[in-house]
A and B are shown apart, each in its own frame.
Chain A
Amino acid sequence: MSEFVFATVQYDSGDWDSAPLVPANIIDAVARYTSIPVRPSGVNVPLASPEIFGYPFAYLTGHLPVRFSEQERANLREFVERGGFLFIDDHNHDIDGAFHKTATEEIARTIEPLRELPNDHPLYRAFFTFEDGPPTTSHELNGWGDNLVHEHLLAVERADRIAVLYSNKDYSSEWSYHPDNKRFLSLDNTRFGVNIVVYALTH
């Protein structure tokens, strides 16, 4: 059986590596709660490279505007059509920010417009149960970014499965800490990351 590899998407236009600790934190969470074979460290994969097709799960984040090149756009389209799962998180937590506006525009242009994901979607029961939908982040509660708590995630679905999952809730900041520091948390806030990974691997 091949192991799960956490792939971070590298794109040309922005700071794709703004959350270097997120991959390790999610890998740690997957190992803590599941028996899924997982590689101990993540990989960075250029979106313009055909290597992207070797990973069923990809994570994309940043603060700066997202402007895909033609090759990146073509690869992203192919990635989605082949059944890949792309998780995008706005590291700005700002729906008026350049990342959100440009990323959603690029997804609409490349694939199709994002739609709200209902809070009773199977994603929220894929491993842990989140009765109220996507968990709120401390950055939303502290008034960072657009000072809003976003009730829904956005998604593009293909054949009743999520192909692109988009978050305004700044999970990249929420999960940007060393996994060893989880011992100081009463409730592990990376559990939703486990749901995302398990959903991606099982749908």
Chain B
Amino acid sequence: MTARERLARARTLLAAATVGAALLWALCAGMLVYGSLVVAALVGGRWIGSAVATGIAMAAAVTVGAAVAWRARRAWSGSHVALWIEERVPALRYALVTSLEPQTAGTAAALENRIAGTQWEPVIRSAAIRATGIPLAAAAMALVLLVALPALRRPLAAAARAPAGRLTSEGAPVPPVTRLSPLRVRVEPPPYSGLATQRLDDPAGIPALTGSRVVIRGPGRPPEMTATIGGRALDVTAAESEWEVLLIMPGRPAALRLATHAEERLIVLEPRVDSVPRVTLVRPARDTIYREAIGALSLRAEARDDFGLAELRLEYIVSSGQGESFSFRSGVLGTRSARGRATTTLDATARLDSLALRPGDIVHLRAVAHDRNSVTGPGVGYSETRMLRIARPDEYDSLSIEPLPPLSGDTGLLSQRMLIQMAEELERQRPRLSREAVVGESRRIAADQARLRRQVGEIIFMRLGGESSGEHSHEGESPEEHAVHAPPEGRLTPEQLLAAAEAATNRDMSEALDFHGDETPVVAINRPLLEAYNAMWDAGRELDIGEPDDALPHMRIALEAIQRARTAERIYLRGRAPAVIVDLARVRLVGKRDGVDPVSVRPRDDTRSDAVRRNERFAAALERLSAGDASAADTLALLRLDALTDAPALATAIGAAIEALRTGSDATDALVSSRRLLAGEVDTRRTLPAWSLSW
């Protein structure tokens, strides 16, 4: 490469470095100026707008870039570059500069030799790196600062989108001031709540306690401005240089609509409701029956409220009488003023003799608390009610008349519901199990069923103060250990208990249950449990032979009986009222409207088509037939009669079926043809294309 060529290359490199440096310095200047403008807007609160700021930053960048480029303009001149190189590479001894002037051949060759032996490219490279490296580092540092620092990044990003105007400290534009913005809201909660006044700046919603006084103010004068809630207009008044609206926070959420002739704004009113006090009657903890109205009753009630309680008291109602004649007295057993406390407790002692209670009286007792809500209330909270009853003397030698408690079975026993689930699961898996496995599993369920049955028997006897049902178990005993003992006198043997259970379940439902005949108290009072006991016997028998599907119906009957036994039952000491079963067939449509004559009322005409009715009757007849009901033939006969006039073919087919049933032969074909005739003509349509196989 000749000296000139080398010089040209050096000049190109320096010029490129000059351009790069100018651009980088311009970028730095632009970022610096834009960032300064944003910071100034955040401090001063006024933003010139992203467009203007960008223009200013670009102008600054162009200026700086042009200045840098002008300052380094000599990099474009070959002679200046040569001089610049000569200054930095003394070894050239001005040979490079001289080579640029016209030379003789001999001089040029000598100059070329001298220049070729000198290296100036490293100097060029380092100068280029220096020229671009510094502004590149500065630009990178500025970029990192602007992007990495959240305090700068967010405002920059917000300002980039914001129009000219005020900026918040976050860089977000502050909306221009109109009559509906910004708003200042003052919320004054009701005095009883004890809450402080709250101030809100330009909110979209106003949360406040119901009944709070809400004052909304905005800039400008009130004329031509409206404020409404649900169509109801509010007064807009003048307050100094602003408008003002006063409202009371309603009980339900609502929208406050503010409007001028040019704009409209909605503010959501979010009421917070004062909840009623929560009251608990701690003592007495449950309903009780007293033999005599003597002694003291310890009472304790607790209450809590969100904004403070006013009062907690214990109330009672005494009901006296029986049958159709009752009288009532009410009063208060204790009161406590809570004076605004959030929680309070009331302890009291009631002397039963002071309530003038007589045998048969019922006392309803509860605690009541009031809060201090003077706006929508007061809110009143109630506890659960406890009932205290004074037993009558004629109840003592009879049965306990407490409501039936839930079965207090051994918690180690499987419940009847669980046994049913186990049997159902076994039945589902039966196709996949061997017979031995099914029998083994079924017997395990049978053993649990037997344990539960014995527990039911225990409960029946324990009701009467007995200690044991007398039923004993063969499980876990060897034949030598097992000995059959005669049951203690007066107790039912298991066989007698089972007989009583069967008698209970087979008894005619229309008979009264009040110890008539030879019915024992065991049977009368424990009927549901005896039914359960009986059903469990049957279930256990089926389970023992490995037939869980046959056991399931009995198990479900037992469960239903247990459920009934759990329901509180009232014992009628004077005898239970007879259970009246209405004979619907006898009384249907014989009611008297006016006077004496029965009304001639008939049901509406059946508007269903004959085909639909006949299909339903035929289906009902088939159902009876499959259940082995002899009346199925009669049903078919009536159906035949109905079809004789307009469907003779159907009548003939049904007749054949009836004849077959009467003679005991197979009526299937006749019934099938009857069904086909009832279904009517088959509607055939050619919707598929004809198939043809061509090979």
Contacts and interface: CB of A to CB of B under 8 A. Distances in A.
Nearest to B365: A67
Interface stretch (A31-39, A113-121, A155-163, A195-203): A31-39
Interface in B520-560: none
Contact of B592 (A10, A27, A178, A188): A188
Interface string B602-636: 01100000000000000000000000000000000
Contacts of A34: 589
B601 interface: yes
A48 B572 CA distance: 23
A24 B580 contact: yes
Interface in B18-32: none
Interface string A160-196: 0000000000000100001100000011100000000
Interface stretch (A12-20, A52-60, A80-88, A130-138): A12-20
Contacts of A128: 593
B382 A109 contact: yes
B596 A186 contact: yes
B590 interface: yes
Given A33-B589, A98-B328, A27 B382 contact: no
Given A24-B582, A186-B596, A179 B587 contact: yes
A10 B566 CA distance: 13
B319 A29 contact: no
Given A35-B603, A64-B319, A179 B588 contact: no
B326 A92 contact: yes
B580 A41 contact: yes
Contacts of A109: 382
A32 B317 contact: no
B596 A67 contact: no
B384 interface: yes
Interface residues of A, number: 39
A10 to B, nearest CB: 8
A35 B328 contact: no
A147 interface: no
A40 interface: yes
Contacts of B319: 63-65, 98
Given A35-B589, A64-B326, A40 B583 contact: yes
Contacts of A20: 577
A122 interface: no
Contacts, number: 97
Give the one of B321, B588, B591, B596 with max A CB within 10 A. Answer: B591
B584 A69 contact: no
* Interface of chain B: mostly helix, strand, loop or mixed: loop
B366 A33 contact: no
A28 interface: yes
A65 B330 CA distance: 11
Given A32-B589, A64-B326, A102-B317, A46 B579 contact: no
Contacts of B604: 35
Contacts of A173: 324
B480 interface: no
B581 interface: yes
Give the one of A17, A69, A91 with max B CB within 10 A. Answer: A17
A65 B588 contact: no
A68 B593 CA distance: 39
Nearest to A172: B324
A41 B317 contact: no
A41 B588 CA distance: 15
A70 B595 contact: no
Given A102-B317, A186-B596, A21 B580 contact: yes
A98 B582 contact: no
B129 interface: no
Contacts of A35: 588-589, 603-604
Give the one of B366, B384, B590, B592 with max A CB within 10 A. Answer: B592
Contact of B591 (A29, A67, A186): A29
B596 A41 contact: no
A27 B586 CA distance: 13
Given A64-B319, A98-B328, A187 B592 contact: yes
A32 B587 contact: yes
A31 B588 contact: yes
Contact of B584 (A31, A33, A98, A187): A31
A13 B570 CA distance: 12
A150 B286 CA distance: 37
B387 interface: yes
B568 interface: yes
B362 interface: yes
Given A38-B584, A64-B362, A46 B567 contact: yes
A38 B589 CA distance: 13
A32 B580 contact: no
A84 B385 CA distance: 25
Nearest to A145: B324
A47 to B, nearest CB: 12
Given A70-B384, A102-B317, A33 B591 contact: yes
Interface in A71-111: 91-92, 97-98, 102, 109
Give the one of A21, A24, A91 with max B CB within 10 A. Answer: A24
Given A46-B567, A63-B324, A21 B577 contact: yes
Contacts of A178: 580
A11 to B, nearest CB: 10
Nearest to B384: A69
Contacts of A98: 317, 319, 326, 328, 330, 364
A178 B321 CA distance: 24
A20 B577 CA distance: 7
B594 A41 contact: no
A146 B328 CA distance: 13
Contacts of A21: 577, 580
A127 to B, nearest CB: 11
Contacts of B583: 40
Given A64-B319, A64-B326, A28 B592 contact: no
B599 interface: yes
B586 to A, nearest CB: 9
Contact of A65 (B364, B587, B601): B364
A32 B330 contact: no
Contacts of A46: 567-568
Contacts of B364: 13, 64-65, 67, 98, 102
A13 B382 CA distance: 15
B596 to A, nearest CB: 7
Nearest to B588: A31
Contacts of A63: 319, 321, 324, 326
Given A41-B580, A63-B319, A98-B330, 19 more contacts: A10-B568, A28-B582, A31-B582, A32-B590, A35-B588, A35-B604, A40-B584, A46-B568, A63-B326, A65-B317, A91-B324, A98-B326, A98-B364, A102-B364, A109-B382, A178-B580, A186-B596, A188-B591, A188-B592
26 contacts: A12-B568, A13-B385, A24-B581, A24-B582, A28-B582, A31-B582, A31-B587, A32-B589, A32-B591, A33-B591, A35-B589, A38-B584, A40-B581, A46-B567, A63-B324, A64-B326, A64-B362, A65-B319, A65-B364, A67-B366, A67-B385, A97-B328, A102-B317, A179-B580, A179-B582, A188-B591
Interface of B: 317, 319, 321, 324, 326, 328, 330, 362, 364, 366, 382, 384-385, 387, 567-568, 570, 577, 579-584, 587-596, 599, 601, 603-604
Q: Which 9 A-B pairs have the closest CB atoms?
A: A32-B591, A67-B385, A24-B580, A98-B328, A33-B591, A20-B577, A35-B603, A40-B582, A65-B364
